[in-house]
Amino acid sequence: MSYEKIEFSCNYMETLHSDDDVIISRFKLLHTGRNINQCDILSESIPKSISSFYNKAIIYKLNNEYFPKDSSDVVEHSRDMYDTTMNIAGHIVESGGFELKTEEDGKEYLYMIGVIHKLYQPVLTNIIKNRNGNMKVSIEIKPLVAYRDADGVLVIQKFKLLGVCLLGEGIQEGIKGSKMQVLKYSSEEYNDKYLNFSKESFIMNS
């Protein structure tokens, strides 16, 4: 059985700090278990699928494509899986690894590290600043191994990440508690400080 891509909207991204060059971002991307999209992502699907997350694009689309400098927000990701008009803000970093953390609601949440290239995203950077660093994000996945249970819920055993999308303020979230936390790093200090950050400041699983 084949499945088309599925979008999971998350709550927000939270900016801790940034500079003029790059943004190192800590993403809270998804939780295991059932969500309002009537999908159930099994805990065991994460290690089977995590390799597909690395180096995937962080994408967005401005709400004024004709006059980008006048954009006040970003919009929802495209519903067309073949749409190639989204802008690329950055990518999920392979060397950042991942963390699965069980939180108060009993669900496991997936954390990963991403980079946004601020230097080449002045309009997006201004939007993030105007939103005090808080933006919703969404992941787009393609189920590879899945089945529907007796309630019609799609139980996902293995999947592929297609991308991570920044969402507009008014987009309804589908997965609660997800966010993006941004740390300050300059482009000159990127390699050394990022590697130290990934080893010391963020608990990773490999």
Given a contact cutoff of 8 angstroms between Cβ atoms, the answer to whether 118 and 18 are in contact is: yes
The string of pLDDT tens digits covering residues 123-163 is 998 888 888 777 788 888 999 999 999 999 999 999 999 99
pLDDT at position 50, please? 96
**pLDDT averaged over every residue in the chain:** 78
The string of pLDDT tens digits covering residues 103-121 is 878 889 998 888 888 888 9
> What is the C-alpha to C-alpha distance for residues 110 and 50, in angstroms, rounded to an integer?
10
- What proportions of the chain, in percent to the nearest 5, are helix, strand and coil? 20, 40, 40
